[in-house]
Amino acid sequence: MRSLRRNERMSSKERVLTTFAHREPDRVPIGYSANAGIDRRLREALDVKEGEWVGEALGVDFRHVGAPYRGKRLHPEAKDRGVDEQWGIRTRWIEHPSGGYWDYCDFPLRDADEDTVAKWPMPDPADFDYGDVAEACKRNAAFAVHTGHGGLGDIINMTGMLRTMEQVLVDLITDDPAGLLLIDRRIDVMVETTRRTLEAAKGKIDFLWLGEDLGTQNSPLISLDLFRRHIRPRHQRFIDLARFYGIPTMIHTCGSSSWAYEDFIEMGMKGVDTLQPEARDMSPEYLKKTFGGRLFFHGCISTAGPVAYGTPEEVTEYCRRTLDIMMPGGGYCFAPTHALQDNSPTENVLAMYEAAHTYGR
C-alpha cells in the first residue's frame, strides 16, 4: 500500500482533538467519503490490498465505531429493489455514464396514517451488538473515533426515504400526527442505540456525528421557525446525550445551511460538516469570518468543482486556497463535501489528498 502520510509529529487523535479545540496541529486533519466506484479506483492506484482501507493510504484521521444490528430481518426483500432490513427503506439501481447509484423509491409510508406508522416494524435497541464497541475503540486508539454518521438523527431526509420529501415537509408545516410519530419513533431508537454505544465505549469515543440536510443551493429548505419547532428540540436530545458523556457533536448539513448555525451554537453543537462552498453563505471566507472560533469545520472541498471537472493542477490550487483560508487558528478538517463521486477522475482525487499533505501544514 502506498501511503501519502509524511513527517507527522502527532497521532491522528491528537491532531483532531487539537483542531477541535481551535488550535493549530502539525497538519490539517483529513476526512474521506466516496462512493464505491471512485473508492475502487483509488484502491488500485494506491495498491491497497484486500482487507485494507483506502483511507489509511490517504492519511485519513477518523475512524467510525458502531454497534451492528443482530436482530431478525424486519422487512422482506423485494425483486429489483434494495430493501433496508431495519427500516424498510426501498431503493432501485440507477445507472449513469460514469457508474451508478441506489436511488430511493416506492416510499411505503407515503400515505400512511397514525395507526400504520405505529405498527411499522422498527429495530429494537436491544438487538444491536454492543459487545465489540470497547475493543473497536481500543483497536483505533491512535485515531479520532466517532460514532454516528451524516444520517444519524436526520429528520427531513431519512424520513423522506419512507414518506417522500414533499410529505415530510407537509408533515412539519401542518404538525401531521402520522408524520411526527414516524419521526419520533425513529429518533427514540437512534437516541437509545447511541446511548448504549457511548456507554459501551467506556469513554473512548471522541465525538458524535449527526446529520440534517437544511438547504437548497440558494436558500433554506425550511423556515427558522419550523426548524426551532421541530428539528431543534429533537437534535437537542443527541447533543445533550453527547455532552453527558463529555464529547462534542458535529452535524452534517448539505446545501445553504449556515442560517441555522447560530442556533446550533446556542444548542451546544461544536462542529459542522459538508460545507458546500458553491451554496449561498457557505463559502470558506464567509464561514471562517462568521463562525471561526465558535464552530469547527469539516468539509469545504467541493465534489462539484475542480475535483470533478478540473485538471490535477487546478485541484491542487483550489485545495491550497481553501486551506489558506480555513487553517489559520485551527478548527478546520480537510474533507470532501459529501461523498466523492464516480465522475471525479482518479488523478484529481489523488491531487486533492496530496494537496492536503503538502499545504495543510
User: 50 to each of 40, 43, 68, 341, how far by Cα in Å?
Assistant: 11, 9, 22, 22
Percent residues over pLDDT 70 in the chain: 100
Please give the mean pLDDT across all residues of the chain: 97
Residue written as cell 451546544? 268
Distance between CA 105 and CA 162 in Å, rounded? Answer: 8
Read off the pLDDT of residues 236-291 as tens digits, 9 standing for 90 and up.
999 999 999 999 999 999 999 999 999 999 999 999 999 999 999 999 999 999 99
Residues of the chain by 3-state class (helix, strand, coil), percent to 5:
45, 15, 40
Q: Which domain holds residue 143?
A: 12-71+111-359
The answer to whether residue 99 scores a pLDDT higher than 90 is: no
Percent residues over pLDDT 90 in the chain: 98
Determine contact, residues 161/151, Cβ cutoff 8 Å: no
For residue 104, tell me if it sits in a domain: no
Strand ranges across the sheet with 82-83: 82-83, 90-96, 99-104
Distance between CA 334 and CA 27 in Å, rounded? Answer: 10
Contacts of 290 (CB under 8 A, 6+ apart): 258, 261
The answer to whether residue 105 scores a pLDDT higher than 90 is: yes
Determine contact, residues 269/239, Cβ cutoff 8 Å: yes
Is residue 28 very low, low, confident or very high in pLDDT (cuts 50, 70, 90)? very high
For residue 98, what pLDDT is reported?
Answer: 84
For residue 2, tell me if it sits in a domain: no
CATH (domain of 39): 3.20.20.210
User: 202 to each of 36, 79, 81, 223, how far by Cα in Å?
Assistant: 33, 42, 39, 39
What pTM, to 2 d.p., does this model score? 0.97
Q: Count how many domains the chain has.
A: 1
Distance between CA 42 and CA 35 in Å, rounded? Answer: 11
Determine contact, residues 204/262, Cβ cutoff 8 Å: no
For residue 235, what pLDDT is reported?
Answer: 98
For residue 144, tell me if it sits in a domain: yes
Is residue 56 very low, low, confident or very high in pLDDT (cuts 50, 70, 90)? very high
Determine contact, residues 242/326, Cβ cutoff 8 Å: no
For residue 87, tell me if it sits in a domain: no
Read off the pLDDT of residues 290-299 as tens digits, 9 standing for 90 and up.
999 999 999 9
Q: What is the mean pLDDT of residues 42-60?
A: 96
The answer to whether residue 334 scores a pLDDT higher than 90 is: yes
For residue 31, tell me if it sits in a domain: yes
Determine contact, residues 36/303, Cβ cutoff 8 Å: no
Identify the three-state secondary structure at position 108: coil
Nearest to residue 336, comparing CAs of 308, 357, 296?
Answer: 308
For residue 14, what pLDDT is reported?
Answer: 98
Identify the three-state secondary structure at position 106: coil
The answer to whether residue 173 scores a pLDDT higher than 90 is: yes
Read off the pLDDT of residues 65-95 as tens digits, 9 standing for 90 and up.
999 999 999 999 999 999 999 999 999 999 9
Is residue 215 very low, low, confident or very high in pLDDT (cuts 50, 70, 90)? very high
For residue 50, what pLDDT is reported?
Answer: 92
Determine contact, residues 151/190, Cβ cutoff 8 Å: no
Distance between CA 337 and CA 173 in Å, rounded? Answer: 29
Nearest to residue 352, comparing CAs of 337, 339, 336?
Answer: 336
Measure CA 81 to chain center. 25
For residue 95, what pLDDT is reported?
Answer: 93
For residue 317, tell me if it sits in a domain: yes
Q: What is the mean pLDDT of residues 220-241?
A: 98
For residue 308, tell me if it sits in a domain: yes
For residue 137, tell me if it sits in a domain: yes
Contacts of 79 (CB under 8 A, 6+ apart): none
